[in-house]
């Protein structure tokens, strides 16, 4: 007898793929929310490609994100990020994980909301800090009080992230659970854009 949870997940995956159509599924949220880890797993479960916009930026520029910030500053980095994401949005469906600041850029956000289906992985400060404090690779956290900087980013960015199509709570839970919850949320999402995108 098949496991009911497996059956439900399979139904959710099928419906999520239908809802997505030919669009990209775009993960947004703060650093440490799990956009790459959950995004990669959701892509595997939905059997569509995965791409990380930060990795793509590093590939085309042949520099790390930290090096780009240091050499050109955040404004120039955001302009490059917008160009890369615009190009990535032209083909789909696939899962696209974006950097924490991408959705804050008005032009990038407008493109994502128009031609993608956006998922905000929302996590509280303690969860984010537990994850990001393990590595010193975040340019925006190279401050005297990185936890306070992260808290300030949370206060500033969460009202904007809330504009995303779908919100999923990221927490101290196994990736498979969050990925399954993400797929279930996409399956329940109702809008008319996928019909137009599928034509």
Q: Quick one: which of 85, 28, 27 has its CA closest to 56?
A: 85
Mean pLDDT of the chain, nearest integer: 88
Triad 174, 104, 23: Cα angle to 5° = 65
Q: Is residue 129 pLDDT above 80, yes or no?
A: yes
- pLDDT, residue 144, reads 79
Is a pLDDT exceeding 90 seen at residue 174? yes
pTM: 0.88
| Percent of the chain scoring above 90 in pLDDT | 69
Q: Which two tokens stand for residue 4?
A: 């009911």
Domain 4-190 CATH superfamily: P-loop containing nucleotide triphosphate hydrolases (3.40.50.300)
Residue 42, token pair as written in the block: 């959701």
């Amino acid at each position: 007898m098949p496991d009911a949870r497996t059956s439900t997940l399979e139904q959710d995956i099928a419906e999520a793929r239908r809802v997505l159509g030919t669009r990209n599924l775009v993960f947004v949220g703060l650093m440490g929310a799990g956009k790459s880890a959950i995004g990669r797993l959701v892509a595997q479960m939905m059997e569509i490609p995965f791409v990380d916009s930060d990795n793509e930026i590093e590939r085309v520029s042949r520099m790390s994100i930290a090096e780009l910030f240091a050499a050109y500053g955040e404004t120039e980095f955001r302009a490059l990020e917008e160009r890369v994401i615009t190009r990535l949005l032209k083909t789909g469906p696939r899962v696209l994980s974006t950097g924490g600041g991408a959705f804050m850029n008005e032009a990038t956000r407008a493109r994502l909301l128009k031609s993608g289906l956006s998922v905000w992985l929302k996590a509280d400060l303690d969860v984010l800090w537990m994850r990001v404090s393990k590595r010193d690779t975040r340019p925006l956290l190279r401050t005297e009080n990185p936890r306070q900087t992260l808290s300030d980013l949370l206060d500033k960015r969460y009202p904007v992230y809330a504009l995303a199509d779908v919100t999923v709570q990221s927490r101290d839970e196994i990736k498979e659970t969050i990925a399954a919850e993400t797929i279930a949320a996409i399956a329940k999402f109702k809008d008319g854009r996928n019909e137009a995108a599928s034509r």
